[in-house]
Amino acid sequence: MSVASPSAPARPTPPGPPAPGAHVRRKRRSSTSSGLVPYALALPALFLLFALLGYPMVRMVVLSFQNMRLRELFAGLTPPWVGLDNYTKVLTDSVFWTVALRTTVFTVVSVALTVTIGLAVAMLMRRVAPSIRIAMIVVMMFVWAMPQLVATQIFRWLVDADFGVINYLLTLIGLDYESHSWFAEPLEGWAVITSLVVWAGIPFIAITLNAGLTQVPKELIEAATVDGASPWQAFRNITLPILKQLIVIVTTLSAIWNFGLFTQPWVIRDGRPSSDYQTLATYAYSTAFKTNNYSLGSAISVITVILLAAVMVFYIRQMFKIGDVD
Amino acid sequence: MAAVAPVVPIRKRRRRPIDSDTVTVGRSRAGTLFANLAAIGFIVVMAFPVYWVLNTAFKPSNEILRFEPTFIPNSPTFDNFKSAFNAPFFQQDLLNSVIITLGAVAGAIVVGFLAALAIARFQFYGRKAIILVVLGVQMVPLVALLIPLYLMMQGFGRTKELPGVIIVYIVLILPYTVWTLRGFISGIPRELDEAALIDGCTRAQVFWRIILPLTGPGLVATSVYGFIQAWNEFIIINTFNDQAQQNLMAWLLQNQTQRGTFWGPLMAGSILTAIPVVIFFLIIQRNIATGLTAGAVKG
C-alpha cells in the first residue's frame, strides 16, 4: 500500500521495466522523507477532534462523578466530587428505566419498519415501469433532503387537532376524528413520531439497497426461476445473501441514529416534552439545561453512550471487515 | 474505480437491447400492474407531506384555519412568505446562517483534506487508530456532548457569539469530511503519483498538480454535504446563543412557540429555510450514500 511498495509497477502502460535509477530514487525518497509528513497532515484535524470531541467526552465522564449546578457554573468553582451518587440516582429512578425502555422499543420498531419498507421499496423499484421508478426516486430525494426540523414542523401541522388534514381525511372515511388530539394518548403520539421517523428514513435505505440490488446478477434469478424456484425462494436464497452486508450496515446506522432520537419528540411537543414523550437524549438534555443539573444529565448521557457502544463497535468492525478502510 | 474497469465487448453482445438489468423471466402482467399501482400508492404517501406544506404556505389564513381544507389554494397568496421574511430576526438569522455555514465548511474542508490525504496516501504508525477515531466520533450522539461543550464554551466566554459555534460546527462535519475525501483520494490511481514522482515532481507538486485537481468533484460534494449538516443544526446554537445570534433553523424552532397557531407563516418559513438544503442536496445526491456505506456498494 505504501508508495515504496516495490512490486507496484511505475506505470500501468506502456509495459516495460521502469528505469532503474528512478526506482532506487523513489524508494529512498519515501523511506526518508515520508516519516513525519502524514503526522503533520493529520495534526490539525486530530487537534480539533481531540479538543472539541475527545476532551468533552472525558469532561462528560468527569462531570458525571461531580455535582455541577448553576452556582458552580457561574462562579467558576470546581464542583464537589460525589462519586457514584449520580449513577445511583439515575439507576434507581423508575422514570429513567421507563425512558430507556421506551427509547429501545422505539428504536427496534422504527428500524424494523424502516428497513423492511425500504427493502420492499427497493425491490419494487426493480419491478415497475421506468417512468414510475424515476418518480419514486424524485419523491424520495425530496423527502431525504428535508431538514429534520422542517419535516417535524410539517408533521406537527398535518396532525394538528383543529385544522390538521389527517383528522379531516380520517373523518372523511367515516371515523370521528374532528378535533382529535394526537398527543393526549402517548401511544398515538408515538405512532405519529414513528411515522415521521420512518417516512424520513425510508429514502436512504431504499435508494442504498436499490443500488445494492443492481449487483444481483439477473441471470442467477432467471436461472433459478426457470429451474422452478418461487419468487420467495429466489429472494431468500439469492438476493438476500448478496444484499446481506449492505442491509447490516444500513440497519446499524439507522439503529444508531434512531436511538439518539431528539429533534422529533422535542419539537413536536413544543420543547417541553412531558415524561411520556422523553427519550434518553431529550431526558439528558432536559435534566441538564432545564433543571440545571449538568452532572445528572452527563450521567444519563454516559449511560446512553454505553448502551449504544455495542452497536457502534459492531458498525466499525463491519466497516473494517468490508476492507474499504485499507 | 474508473482505471480498473476492463473492456468486455463479448458481454455487451449478449445483453438484451431493452431493460437489460431487470429480471423478466417468470413475471406476469398482473404482477407488473400490481407493482406499478403499489409504487404509485407509495409515491402519493411519501409526497403528501411535501405537497401539503406547499399547499398551506400559499393559502391566506382564513383558508388555513378551517376543518375542511382546500386541496388547491382558492386564492393563492405570497403573504405568508412576506410575513415570514419580515418576521423579527429572520433576516439577521439568515445572514448568521450563511456566515456560520460558510465558515464551518471552509474550515472543515481545509483541515479535513489534509487528514484525508494522510490516511489515503501514507502508511504510518497510528493510521488505523486515526480511522477508528474518525469513524467512532461520528456515532456519538451530539446531544450527549452538548453539556461539556456548553461548559467549555462558557469557560472560554465563547457562548453568545458566532465564532464559538463555527468551531463546534467544523468539528461536527469534520469526521464525515475526512472519511469521504479519503475515499475520493483513494480513487485516484497511485500510479499517477508515482509516474509524476519519477518524472521529477516533488511531493508538493504531486499534491498541487495531480491530487488536488482530481479530487475537485469530491471537494465540491463534500463541501455541499457539510453545508447541509451545518445549515440544519439548531440544537447547539439554540442552547449556546441568545436570540440575536441564532441561525435560521433555530429561528424556525423559536418562531413555532412564539407564534402558536400561525401555521401559514410557519410553513412558509419552513420552505424558505429548507430551500437551500433541498437544492444542494439534489445536486450532490449521488455522493451522499457512498460516504456512509463506502465499499459496500461496488458500482
User: Which of A53, A77, A209 is best to mutate for the B interface (most B CBs within 10 A)?
Assistant: A53
Contact B142 A260 (CB under 8 A): yes
pLDDT value, residue B286: 64
pLDDT value, residue A1: 34
As a whole number of angstroms, the distance between CA B276 and CA A111 comes to 29
As a whole number of angstroms, the distance between CA B187 and CA B221 comes to 15
Characterize B223-237 residue by residue with b for buried, 16 or more Cβ atoms within 10 angstroms of its Cβ, and e for exposed: bbbbbbbbbbbbbbb
Q: Which residues pair with A81 in a beta bridge?
A: A66
User: Which of A116, A132, A150 is best to mutate for the B interface (most B CBs within 10 A)?
Assistant: A150
A294 has a pLDDT exceeding 50: yes
Helix residue ranges per DSSP H, A214-293: 218-226, 231-234, 240-259, 263-268, 280-285
Spell out the domains of chain B, with CATH numbers in brackets. Answer: 29-77 (no CATH), 86-190+216-292 (1.10.3720.10)
Q: Which of A190, A191, A186, A203 is nearest to A114 (CA)?
A: A203
pLDDT per position as a tens digit, A149-182: 999 999 999 999 888 999 999 999 988 888 889 9
A201, A254 contact by CB (below 8 A) = yes
**What's the complex ipTM?**
0.81
B297, A208 contact by CB (below 8 A) = yes
Predicted TM-score (pTM) of the model is 0.83
A213 has a pLDDT exceeding 80: yes
The percent helix, strand, coil of chain A (3-state, each to 5) is: 75, 0, 25
- DSSP annotation of A53 reads I
Q: Which residues contact B246 (CB under 8 A, 6 or more apart)?
A: B89, B93, B96, B237, B238, B254
CATH class of residue range A106-259:
mainly alpha
pLDDT per position as a tens digit, A184-204: 999 999 999 999 999 999 999
B111, B117 contact by CB (below 8 A) = no
Residues on chain B touching A215 (C-beta within 8 angstroms): 297-298
Mean pLDDT computed over A268-273: 87
Report the alpha-carbon angle B53-B56-B62, nearest 5: 160
Q: Which of A152, A207, A310, A262 is nearest to B139 (CA)?
A: A310
pLDDT per position as a tens digit, B16-36: 445 555 666 666 788 889 999
With bands split at pLDDT 50, 70 and 90, how would you rate the model's confidence at B50?
very high
User: Who among A42, A162, A211 is closest to B130 (CB)?
Assistant: A42
Residue B239 three-state SS:
helix
Contact A45 B112 (CB under 8 A): yes
With bands split at pLDDT 50, 70 and 90, how would you rate the model's confidence at A18?
very low
B102 has a pLDDT exceeding 70: yes
The percent helix, strand, coil of chain B (3-state, each to 5) is: 75, 0, 25
The residue written with cell numbers 382564513 in the block is B62
pLDDT value, residue A6: 35
As a whole number of angstroms, the distance between CA A134 and CA B39 comes to 11
Which of B290 and B166 is assigned the larger pLDDT? Answer: B166
- B residues 115-154 lying closer than 8 A (beta carbon) to A: 115, 117-119, 121-124, 126-128, 130-137, 139-152, 154
As a whole number of angstroms, the distance between CA B267 and CA B46 comes to 18
Residues on chain B touching A208 (C-beta within 8 angstroms): 289, 292-293, 297
B15 has a pLDDT exceeding 50: no
With bands split at pLDDT 50, 70 and 90, how would you rate the model's confidence at A276?
very high
Task: Determine which helix (DSSP H) or strand (DSSP E) holds A134, and give its type and residue range.
Answer: helix A130-145
The shortest C-alpha distance from B240 to chain A (Å) reads: 11
pLDDT value, residue A5: 35
**Length in residues, chain A:** 326
Mean pLDDT computed over B178-201: 87
3-state secondary structure B12-80: HHHCCCCCCCCCCCCCCHHHHHHHHHHHHHHHHHHHHHHHHHHHHHCCCHHHHCCCCCCCCCCCCCCHH
User: Who among B118, B143, B277 is closest to A284 (CB)?
Assistant: B143
pLDDT value, residue B49: 95
The shortest C-alpha distance from A188 to chain B (Å) reads: 19
With bands split at pLDDT 50, 70 and 90, how would you rate the model's confidence at A23?
very low
B4 has a pLDDT exceeding 50: no
Closest alpha carbon within chain A to B168:
A52
Report the alpha-carbon angle B192-B110-B147, nearest 5: 135
Tell whether B36 is within 8 A of chain A (Cβ). Answer: yes
Residue A193 three-state SS:
helix
Mean pLDDT computed over B229-239: 89
With bands split at pLDDT 50, 70 and 90, how would you rate the model's confidence at A77?
confident
With bands split at pLDDT 50, 70 and 90, how would you rate the model's confidence at B6?
very low
The whole-chain average pLDDT of chain B stands at 81
The shortest C-alpha distance from B209 to chain A (Å) reads: 17
Q: How many CB atoms lie within 10 A of CB A155?
A: 26
Report the alpha-carbon angle A246-B115-A259, nearest 5: 40
A203, A115 contact by CB (below 8 A) = no
A2 has a pLDDT exceeding 70: no
As a whole number of angstroms, the distance between CA A289 and CA B295 comes to 40
Tell whether A249 is within 8 A of chain B (Cβ). Answer: yes
Helices and strands, number each (H, E), in chain A: 16, 0
- Phi, psi for residue B141 in degrees, rounded to 5: -60, 130
The residue written with cell numbers 474518525 in the block is B134
Read off the amino acid at residue B126: G
Task: Determine which helix (DSSP H) or strand (DSSP E) holds A301, and give its type and residue range.
Answer: helix A294-322
Q: What sign results for the dihedral spanned by CA atoms B139, B141, B145, B150?
A: positive
Contact B52 A154 (CB under 8 A): yes
The residue written with cell numbers 484535524 in the block is A45
Find out whether the peptide bond into B265 is cis, omega within 30 degrees of 0. Answer: no
The whole-chain average pLDDT of chain A stands at 84
A55, B152 contact by CB (below 8 A) = yes
pLDDT value, residue A324: 53
A323 has a pLDDT exceeding 60: no
Tell whether B232 is within 8 A of chain A (Cβ). Answer: yes
A66, A79 contact by CB (below 8 A) = yes
As a whole number of angstroms, the distance between CA A105 and CA A243 comes to 26
pLDDT value, residue A29: 42
With bands split at pLDDT 50, 70 and 90, how would you rate the model's confidence at A290?
confident
B297 has a pLDDT exceeding 90: no
pLDDT value, residue A34: 64
- A residues 147-166 lying closer than 8 A (beta carbon) to B: 147-151, 153-158, 160, 162-163, 165
Read off the amino acid at residue B116: A
Contact B171 A53 (CB under 8 A): yes
User: Who among B49, B122, B152 is closest to A158 (CB)?
Assistant: B49
Domain coordinates in residue numbering, chain A: 106-259
Residues on chain B touching A57 (C-beta within 8 angstroms): 140, 145, 148
The shortest C-alpha distance from B119 to chain A (Å) reads: 8
pLDDT per position as a tens digit, B245-262: 888 999 888 877 665 568
The shortest C-alpha distance from A252 to chain B (Å) reads: 11
A270 has a pLDDT exceeding 60: yes
User: Who among A53, A142, A221 is closest to B145 (CB)?
Assistant: A53
As a whole number of angstroms, the distance between CA A314 and CA B26 comes to 39
